[in-house]
Structure 1
Amino acid sequence: MTRILVIRLSALGDFVQSFPAFAAIRAHHPDASITLLTTAPFRALAETSPWFDQIEIDTRPKITDFRGMKRLRQQLSGYDRIYDLQTSGRSSGYRRLAGKADWSGIRGSGPLSHTNPSRTLMHTRTRQRDQLRVAGMAEVPEVADLNWLTSQGSRFTEQLRTPYAVIVPGAAPHRPGKRWAADRYGALAAHLAAKGQTPVVVGSSADTPLAAVIQSVCPEAVDLTGKTSILDLGGICAKATIAIGNDTGPMHLAAAVGCRCLVLFSAESDPGLTAPIGRFAEQVRVLRVHDMATLSVDRVVSALG
């Protein structure tokens, strides 16, 4: 049996952007044993999906960690083909640990190498589609079947007052410039509540202080920060009327499951390269400003349509 390894380590938004690529690899190798090498936060998501037969967790050992590097070499060995969808400096370095497997990635000059000089100017989806085309896949779907994901989270959705809107106030801790102020999200939540929608705040436990600020402005808001798994979040977003949030992982998930989205971008990131991709035209709207501090609540409300 052909053995395939797919490498996709992090982060959530990047992982979600790879759903169509995962589906294409599974369709291209229907009888192969396909393993995903990823990081611990995405184990349950990957195990629930229909694309992989096994999941391996990369603990990202340091080069000086002899035991960790030995285990990593074992995790990378014995495959006929490896698709590096991470294409980072770290994952590219794994090629030297992978033996004689055919390598689809950016390291080396083999027949599957993605050497397009414009790859860094492409959106993640376009770049992966081009990489897989070089590897022999003429068709990569625009969207993947996510029924397995949209059916999750019933323990929350059955209790939420409908209709509800999802609010995503967090972002990577080291990228504060990507965040719109929590008190402004609070004012937005109050607007939504006045229109008959329950504001539902989601994110990790690190975002709980942001949810507290939002609730101080809008007591009707429901705080689910730190309470949901990624799988739960997929089902919650699928049933929401809209999701509004910063350029961060949960907004990619919301877009992927078909939720109408308004994504707030600052100069910290380029939507041309990383914007969430929806399932249908005009599902995802991007509102970009140079500095989040200049973005008013009225402008966001106007953008809701």
Structure 2
Amino acid sequence: MTSENILIIKLSALGDFVQALGPMQAIRRHHPDAKLTLLTTKPFVDIAERSGWFQEVIVDKRPKLLNIKAMLQLRNKLRSGKFARVYDLQTSDRSSSYYRLMGNPKPEWSGIAKGSSHPHANPNRDFMHTVDRQAEQLSMAGITDVPFPDVSWMEADPSKFGLPENYALLIPGGAPHRPDKRWPGSSYGQLAARLVQEGITPVILGTKAEEKEADEIQAECPEAISLLGKTTLFEIAALARKARFSVGNDTGPTHLAAIAGAPTLALFSHASNPDLCGQRGPEVEILRVPDLSNLPVPDVFGKLRSIAHLSQPET
């Protein structure tokens, strides 16, 4: 029998969402008898429902604040939940504004909304890594045992892809509006050719939006296998667990591969700060340079030696 209704808010994006899985699990453990509801966006409904932590998942379509009809629908949905406490793991202006939609009396609120009963009151919170920031936020709300995100339950059968046993994941994508966060596709292609020399089959992950990068990789390395648009998030996790390693840009699938357990090399430019949003996992290396377009392939191959025991790169 449930004793209270609890809401977690976590909207996007993929990397942020999977890094919040540890906090979500901690909240579930802290409220074992509660009805736990997640407010999230459509891409993450499947993960949330299959995690087994939530009795209800609400899709937030993120209506424009001036869309009165849609905002009233969201307000009514939030108020009907009769939530005793809300854990805002998004802590954005949007999610904080939902505090005002809750009506009176307000639920207890963990987050940064004005009036929060359990505010994350660290003035330096914006300078903390996401994982550490959320753990501290929960500690201020009385939850001190926050595990590292566990995606071992994200199971799938990757055998349908017919991959060889010795493969590595290449993740050349990223937000379309952030090209400065991408290592060039031709550079990934040259790296892929080096991997083939090592007896490792390069496997390209991404969406149809990365077709240009995939074409550039396969132009340099015809042996590379493209799985663009063919993998679910659960299949990415399963592929990562069996991969020799993964190498990718600062993008969601790289986060998922790292958390799933693939030794991971993440490539950063000065467009993003790994101290705040870098990949976390059992074995992660970060390579950051001012401009990824100038990052030499031998430098990347050299970094991979420490996590994948590759041969000495050429100079």
- Relative to the length of structure 2, the TM-score reads 0.92
In structure 2, stretches of 5+ residues that fail to align are: 306-315
Aligned to 1:126: 132
Residue 86 of structure 1, aligned match among 83, 86, 90: 90
What's the CA shift for 1:65? Answer: 2.1
Letter paired with 2:173 = G
Preserved CA contact (<8 Å) 2:19 2:149: no
For residues 35 and 159 of structure 2, the distance between their equivalents in structure 1, rounded to whole angstroms, comes to 33
In structure 1, stretches of 5+ residues that fail to align are: none
Letter paired with 1:170 = G
Letter paired with 2:156 = Q
Matched, 1:107 2:110: no
Matched, 1:4 2:6: yes
For residues 206 and 76 of structure 2, the distance between their equivalents in structure 1, rounded to whole angstroms, comes to 35
Letter paired with 1:82 = V
Aligned to 2:21: 19
What's the CA shift for 1:208? Answer: 1.9
Point out the more displaced range, 225-234 or 260-269: 225-234
What's the CA shift for 1:293? Answer: 1.7
Matched, 1:190 2:161: no
Aligned to 1:51: 53
Letter paired with 2:99 = R
What's the CA shift for 1:155? Answer: 4.8
Matched, 1:147 2:152: yes
For residues 24 and 302 of structure 1, the distance between their equivalents in structure 2, rounded to whole angstroms, comes to 38
For residues 145 and 176 of structure 1, the distance between their equivalents in structure 2, rounded to whole angstroms, comes to 30
What's the CA shift for 1:194? Answer: 1.3
What's the CA shift for 1:153? Answer: 4.1
Q: 1:202 to 1:189 in 2, by over 3 A?
A: same
Preserved CA contact (<8 Å) 2:214 2:226: yes
Q: Secondary structure at the match of 2:119?
A: coil
For residues 224 and 217 of structure 2, the distance between their equivalents in structure 1, rounded to whole angstroms, comes to 7
Preserved CA contact (<8 Å) 2:35 2:55: yes
Aligned to 1:221: 224
Q: Secondary structure at the match of 1:103?
A: strand
Letter paired with 2:35 = S
- Relative to the length of structure 1, the TM-score reads 0.95
For residues 125 and 145 of structure 1, the distance between their equivalents in structure 2, rounded to whole angstroms, comes to 13
For residues 192 and 160 of structure 1, the distance between their equivalents in structure 2, rounded to whole angstroms, comes to 15
Preserved CA contact (<8 Å) 1:205 1:227: no
Residue 165 of structure 1, aligned match among 168, 172, 181: 168
For residues 26-45 of structure 1, the aligned pairs below 5 Å read: 26-45=28-47
Preserved CA contact (<8 Å) 1:177 1:266: yes
For residues 75 and 65 of structure 1, the distance between their equivalents in structure 2, rounded to whole angstroms, comes to 16
Aligned to 1:303: 303
What's the CA shift for 1:138? Answer: 1.6
Matched, 1:255 2:258: yes
Percent pairwise identity: 47
Preserved CA contact (<8 Å) 2:170 2:246: yes
Letter paired with 1:10 = S
Aligned to 1:181: 184
What's the CA shift for 1:204? Answer: 1.4
Q: 1:94 to 1:238 in 2, by over 3 A?
A: same
For residues 77 and 149 of structure 2, the distance between their equivalents in structure 1, rounded to whole angstroms, comes to 27
Letter paired with 1:258 = G
Tell me the matched-pair count. Answer: 299
What's the CA shift for 1:70? Answer: 1.8
Moved over 6 A (4+): none
Aligned to 1:269: 272
Matched, 1:236 2:239: yes
The CA RMSD over aligned residues, in Å, is: 1.2
For residues 15 and 70 of structure 1, the distance between their equivalents in structure 2, rounded to whole angstroms, comes to 26
Point out the more displaced range, 175-184 or 57-66: 57-66
